[in-house]
Structure 1
Amino acid sequence: MKILLVSMNSIHFRRWSDQLRDSGFDLYWFDILDQGYAPSMSWMTQITGWKKGFLKKRGRSILKSKLPKLFNALVHKYDNKVEDAFANALQEIQPDLVHSFALYISASPILSVMLKNSIPWIYSSWGSDLFYYKNKPDYLKDIQAVLPRVNYMFADCKRDQQIANELGFNGTHLGVFPGGGGFDLELIENYKIPFENRKIIAVKGNHNRSGRALQVLKALEQLGQHIDHLEVIVFGATNPLILDFETDQIKNLTIKAILNHDQILELFGESLIYIGNSNSDGMPNTLLEAICAGAFPIQSNPGGATAELIENGTNGLLIEECEDVKHIQAIIHKAISNKTLLEGGVAHNTTHILPMLSRYKITQQVIKAYTSINC
């Protein structure tokens, strides 16, 4: 089977596509943003270098910063349009399947081409793809235009399957899987320390369109001396509101910017509790990695997505009001004051959730889903 993958170069896409490395499929990747050749994905054919129509070697960044109006005029006049480049790739490759990752990035831009072809089209919904953007009129228009043409769909939560159905998708659901596929449980095991030695609360530091890390920090601040025996480590912070957060109420607070994957796994493997807070995420990959590493999860539950995996009070705690500091404070206090809850939650996840997240198991299921398609 010849599959043309359409995506930006992201960690989720690299992990997902790696599942197909030894599948026997003939794989091609159309780099929708033309970010350049990716050595980490050298094992599949890459369609890159299609965009630039002027200053192909150097000088574009300087021109863009110095003369933005001229740059935009030249882009409009000389750069190749994504529809034309994709149509050429489609004609040359003649794939059996096209698979787009994230609707507004990789599906909407090629819709005009796909409407002229009957090639089966798969769409992978990620994070805020449907739940957040369906509330934005311009994006909703794109969603309702794309979904009726899409034949198959992967999602990272059942919530988004339902939303897709409501907004025009009438194809076949191929399954609910983490956006980047499964997790290497043997690798993660190397980073885990015993439960009784864990003293860290790990906080996902995203504070942006969807992330709400500041509310978590304010909740921890109000807990004061109740968390003096613990260390709070915020990771992945990029917003100055988080990077520059100062307080005397959190005794042991460390704020870190972007960490590499090994550093994140090491942090999770030493963490007692993981906290992630968002107004629209699907099933966060970071949450799943924290669970795999033995941390007790506290996670927001937009649209009921997280409740598909976490039973509140059994194997984690759910934040139902991501903006409500007092609500978040009460949830964290419940966790830190109940060792039995934490131990029981981690034990439940180890027995019942980790086997479902195995890289090997999910890879087999994903390959089976692709092969079920009649081309």
Structure 2
Amino acid sequence: MPRILFVSLHGSPHTARWVECVADSGLDLHMFGIDAGPPNSLLRGVTLHVPAPPRPQGPGPLTRVRRFAGLALRDTAEASRRILRRLRQRPLPLPPPGAVRVVEMPAAAPQPADARIPFGDTGADYPATHGPAMLADLVVRLKPDLIHSMEFQHCGYLVLAARDILGADNFPPWLATNWGSDIYLFGREPAHAAMIRRLLAAADLYSCECHRDITLAREMGFTGPDLPVLPNSGGLDLARIAPLRSPMPPSRRKTIMIKGYDHFAGRAMVSLAVLERFADRLRGHEIVMFSAGARPRVRALELREQGVLNIRVIDWATHEDILAEFGRARMYMGISLSDAISTSVLESMAMGAFPIQTNTSCCEEWFEDGVGGFAVPPDNFEVICGRFERALTDDALVDNAALVNRAVVEARLDTRVVQPQVRNFYAQAFGHLAR
């Protein structure tokens, strides 16, 4: 039975949905926990390896209780701060019974709970308690037939650091998967570009969800075989989520979905500026912002308080909640300097909402610009406004796009299609390694 060790963001729904595709396929699946966060509630069929929490040292529990009670009487604020700090450092919560088997690894040298170790000069880092020495030790003990890192700037760099410790001759075959902006954006930054070239030279296999990124990996030195291009999120169960999609045509829906990312790539402030320009024509619409960064959130709430926009910010929601919002939406807009497919584009297509996404993603590998959605430049505000206005007013456009996109997602995104493709993906990977 081939053994795979995933090094991935174990709290991510994308990770969970990808692993779900092979959870019952006869593979021996393991995962290294890259931080102290809990596993995603959907993750199953995998053994999660986490560092054991440090053993208590110093005074016994009764003495510690007495000391804390004294502190609480003297300084209530400091006692509260210590409680909050302890909560932030709490051990990994256990997943639902039977979903994930959690195995504690012997703790490495004691580290401060918030200590982090940088990846060279890139600006990326990892928790010291979940560092490359811990991963290298797990590789030696587990002896996986394949290491699969999903995402570059944390997971891939971490695997590279563990490989440096063990040496290339003592390291298992490695499949590195590119997520999001891993190559398209970070490959242009000198420190990251050097690290990415090292990673691609070390990896035996490479995969991604954009044909665009295969070309970029080749340009950055990857010489291994090609693997199928598949959505990193593992597809959507269209039959299960069908009740979340409104039966009315998108042209009659009065919700507009906005991605609220505001970080190295996200430009949600541009989306808000577009909405503000058309505020008078959005009186009967509700704007829903999800994945909101701090600045867009503040600005969105200001626009609501001022009566400019009827806007609601979702601070936390399940994946089903977000899909249901898409299912009530006429359109979706996501503006960013870089992305891969953009999972939000796929979700909007699946739920009938017309997508407007910046052309710095590879969204045009999924819809034709002007037919299934709009691919807009991130740096041309007037073009974005023009496309938004048309999507807001052209009922035939959005209704026809919903029909076209439905056929696309049924053919390419349904889990009944993607699951066998993912299983064949690993069959091809092991086949390449055998040769």
2:115, 2:129 within 8 Å by CA — same for their partners in 1?
A: no
2:346 aligned partner: 288
Cα distance change, pair 39–332 in 1 and its aligned pair in 2 (3 A)? closer
| 2:380 pairs with 1:324 | yes
Deviates more, 1:222-231 or 1:203-212: 222-231
Distance in 2 between residues matched to 1:357 and 1:73, nearest whole Å: 39
Matches within 5 A, 1:140-151: 140-151=193-204
The aligned counterpart of 1:139 is 192
Residue 300 (structure 1) aligns with = 358
Q: Matches of 1:25 and 1:207 in 2, distance apart? A: 39
Q: Is the 8 A contact 1:147 1:168 kept in 2?
A: yes
CA distance in structure 1 between the aligned counterparts of 2:384 and 2:339, rounded to whole angstroms = 17
Q: Distance in 2 between matches of 1:287 and 1:120?
A: 33
What SS is found at the alignment partner of 1:122? strand
- Alignment of 1:339 onto 2:395: yes
Alignment CA distance shift 1:368-1:228 (3 Å): same
**What runs of 5+ residues in structure 1 fail to find an aligned partner?**
none
Q: Which residue of 1 aligns with 2:5?
A: 4
**Alignment partner of 1:199 is 2:199:** no
Q: What is the percent sequence identity of the aligned residues?
A: 27
Q: What RMSD in Å do the two structures reach over aligned CA positions? A: 3.0
What one-letter code is carried by the residue in structure 1 that aligns with 2:419?
Answer: T
Matched, 1:158 2:211: yes
The equivalent residue for 1:86 is 135
CA distance in 2 between counterparts of 1:315 and 1:223 reads: 23
Matching residue within 412, 415, 419 for 1:359: 415
Q: 2:329 aligns with which of 271, 277, 282?
A: 271
Question: Counterpart amino acid of 2:253?
Answer: R
Closer/same/farther in 2, CA of residues 80 and 276 from structure 1, 3 Å limit: closer
Corresponding residue number in structure 2 for 1:213: 268
Q: d(CA) in 1 for partners of 2:116 and 2:397? A: 57
2: CA distance between counterparts of 1:351 and 1:341?
16
- Secondary structure (helix, strand or coil) at the match of 1:175 reads coil
Of 103, 109, 131, which residue of structure 1 is paired with 2:158?
A: 109
Contact 2:254–2:284 under 8 Å retained in 1:
yes
SS at match of 1:352: helix
Q: Does the CA contact (< 8 Å) of 1:157 and 1:283 recur in 2?
A: yes
Larger Rg: 2
Equivalent residue letter for 1:141: A
Give the structure 2 partner of residue 121 of structure 1: 174
1:170-221 Cα offsets, whole Å, 9 max, x none, are 1122122222111010122111111154111111111222111110111121
Q: Aligned partners of 1:307, 1:165: CA distance in 2, in Å?
A: 21
Q: Tell me the TM-score normalized by structure 1.
A: 0.88
Bigger mean CA offset, 275-284 vs 114-123: 114-123
Q: Which residue of 2 aligns with 1:371?
A: 427
Amino acid at match of 1:265: L
Distance change >3 Å, CA 42–CA 15, structure 1 → 2:
closer
Give, as a single letter, the amino acid of the residue that structure 1 aligns with 2:316. I
Question: SS of 1:148's equivalent?
Answer: helix
TM-score normalised to structure 2 length? 0.77
